């Protein structure tokens, strides 16, 4: 699914009106009808509504929705925020259409016109929409605060009022919606952690915008979904053998952190690697041989940390390194030698990234198109702080281009920055994955996919999506609170089956 800016979305509306063709008022009717159907499906029709409208097209959507709800015999009160000018043409048409209904219409000129929100009313926010280009102040800001303080359930139409589509809204007064009903495509604002309190649960409603527009426009970012992943996934040929799916090397664990190696190794094998070798400190030999009997294990001369790799890392299909290895001085030099000996794309995570951040001279040894998987703090250590989530995403794209690597910025809607300048927000995953070990599982998945011959870009997209999908499947079984990182690996088989289903 494309992620488009406010300007691109407006252009899509215009394209639809010209090529369908359809009048703008009828397109507004479609948008309002899609919201009504969502409300009906989710049991809201029959309740009472307080609908707050500005005088632009977002307000026009609200007026059309108010008419539909009133026609369905829902008690509806509409509050129109006055800005001292006439509303848009479509707003005025929908206001005229609303008058014959039983809906009550009130106007708000100032804070002294605010009415207490009726307890139990569903509040519909149709004040400002996606065309907002400045900070809220005056009556508009006061009204948003008034609605947020009501304690009522708020459903935003298009986008919560006060939220900017493509830039940070920090410091602005913003509606705190329980649900956001938006249209046709995802907006950047819905994917930024800083906006979580504002957007609530986001629902993208199809209003039949002309598909031809997407053939001539592309957003810088895209939402990673099942359609993209199914195009990447390659089923196994019937006469395949283990040699067809690569020999992966995983370097992980240290004294007290052998769980990271176990989690990564199991995930690597569950993601389809033909063979797996794991390099661990001496203390991890028996642990890995017992916990992951399918893997071959090589013990470091040191009992507690990684100090020496005797083999040739370039002999392996892929090397994944970092989970739980620590940052002791000899381990830093160990990583230096590993990087120098491997010119194929690698997977770098956790302490490998922390070492890279503290020893910047190692950057020149990182093979092109390697996959780096930092969480936000590791990202900051690597590339410096960012003032907001939008800036962090921009920095990830910039660094991916500059360093010719793939950066997976982990979090809700993990962001995959490609060296060619394209970015993807993941659509799978849930807060239950915010536990120690989840990143180790991702490292194993990415290593396993790379070993099978997927390109680094394909492996990153497929791996991140599968990781999140396994998390969603695990949450459905154990709940977000009780699920463990190891449960992600246990659900990988179901995740693979899911992406092979014909939609």
pLDDT tens by residue, 57-70: 999 999 999 999 99
> Does the pLDDT at position 371 exceed 80?
yes
Output the average pLDDT for the chain. Answer: 96
* Residues 269, 271, 276: CA angle, nearest 5 degrees: 30
pLDDT, position 83: 81
> Does the pLDDT at position 503 exceed 70?
no
The residue-averaged pLDDT of 1-12 equals 92
**Residue 228 burial class via C-beta count within 10 angstroms: exposed 0-12, middle 13-18, buried 19 and up:** middle
Domains present along the chain, CATH in parentheses: 2-215 (3.40.50.10260), 227-240+264-272+322-499 (3.40.1190.20)
Buried b (16+ CB within 10 A) or exposed e, 230-250: eebbeeeeeeeeeeebbbbbb
d(CA 187, CA 162): 14
pLDDT, position 502: 73
> Does the pLDDT at position 245 exceed 90?
yes
pLDDT tens by residue, 166-206: 999 999 999 999 999 999 999 999 999 999 999 999 999 99
Structure tokens at 139: 């009556």
pLDDT, position 236: 94
- Kindly report the backbone phi and psi dihedral angles of residue 157, in degrees, each rounded to the nearest multiple of 5, phi listed first: -100, 125
Structure tokens at 291: 């916990």
Band (146; pLDDT cuts 50, 70, 90): very high
Under DSSP, the state recorded for 131 is G
The residue-averaged pLDDT of 461-476 equals 98
């Amino acid at each position: 699914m494309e992620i488009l800016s406010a300007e691109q979305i407006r252009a899509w509306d215009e394209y639809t009106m010209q090529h369908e063709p359809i009048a703008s008022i009828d397109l507004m009717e479609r948008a309002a009808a899609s919201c009504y159907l969502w409300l009906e499906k989710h049991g809201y029709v029959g309740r009472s509504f307080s609908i707050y409208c500005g005088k632009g097209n977002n307000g026009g959507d609200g007026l059309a929705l108010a008419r539909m709800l009133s026609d369905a015999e829902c008690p509806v009160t509409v509050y129109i925020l006055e800005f001292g000018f006439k509303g848009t043409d479509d707003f005025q048409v929908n206001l005229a259409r609303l008058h014959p209904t039983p809906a009550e219409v009130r106007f708000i000129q100032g804070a002294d016109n605010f009415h207490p929100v009726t307890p139990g009313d569903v509040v519909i926010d149709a004040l400002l929409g996606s065309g907002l280009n400045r900070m809220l102040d005056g009556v508009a800001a006061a009204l948003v605060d008034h609605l947020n303080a009501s304690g009522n359930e708020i459903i935003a139409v298009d986008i919560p009022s006060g939220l900017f589509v493509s830039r940070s809204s920090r410091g602005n007064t913003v509606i705190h919606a329980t649900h956001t009903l938006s249209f046709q495509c995802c907006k950047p604002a819905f994917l930024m952690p800083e906006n979580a309190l504002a957007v609530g649960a986001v629902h993208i409603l199809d209003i039949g915008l002309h598909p031809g527009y997407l053939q001539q426009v592309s957003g810088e970012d895209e939402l990673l979904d099942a359609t993209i992943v199914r195009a990447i996934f390659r089923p196994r040929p019937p006469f395949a053998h283990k040699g067809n799916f690569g020999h992966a090397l995983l370097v992980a664990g240290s004294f007290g952190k052998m769980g990271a190696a176990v989690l990564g190794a199991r995930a690597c094998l569950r993601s389809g690697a033909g063979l797996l070798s794991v390099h661990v400190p001496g203390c991890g030999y028996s642990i890995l041989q017992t916990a992951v009997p399918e893997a071959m294990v090589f013990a470091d001369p040191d009992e507690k940390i990684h100090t020496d790799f005797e083999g040739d890392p370039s002999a392996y299909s892929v090397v994944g390194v970092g989970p739980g290895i620590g940052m002791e001085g000899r381990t830093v030099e160990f990583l230096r030698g590993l990087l120098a000996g491997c010119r194929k794309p690698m997977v770098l995570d956790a302490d490998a990234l922390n070492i890279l951040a503290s020893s910047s001279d190692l950057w020149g040894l990182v093979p092109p198109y390697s996959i780096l998987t930092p969480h936000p703090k590791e990202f900051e250590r690597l590339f410096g702080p960012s003032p907001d989530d939008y800036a962090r995403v921009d920095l990830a794209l910039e660094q991916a281009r500059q360093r010719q690597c793939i950066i997976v910025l982990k979090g809700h809607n993990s962001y995959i920055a490609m060296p060619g300048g394209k970015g993807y927000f993941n659509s799978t995953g849930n807060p239950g994955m915010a536990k120690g070990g989840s990143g180790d599982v991702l490292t194993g998945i990415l290593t396993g996919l790379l070993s099978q011959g997927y390109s680094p870009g394909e492996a990153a997209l497929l791996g991140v999506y599968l990781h999140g999908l396994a998390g969603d499947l695990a949450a459905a079984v154990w709940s977000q609170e009780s699920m463990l990182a190891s449960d992600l690996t246990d659900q990988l088989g179901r995740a693979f089956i899911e992406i092979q289903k014909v939609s």
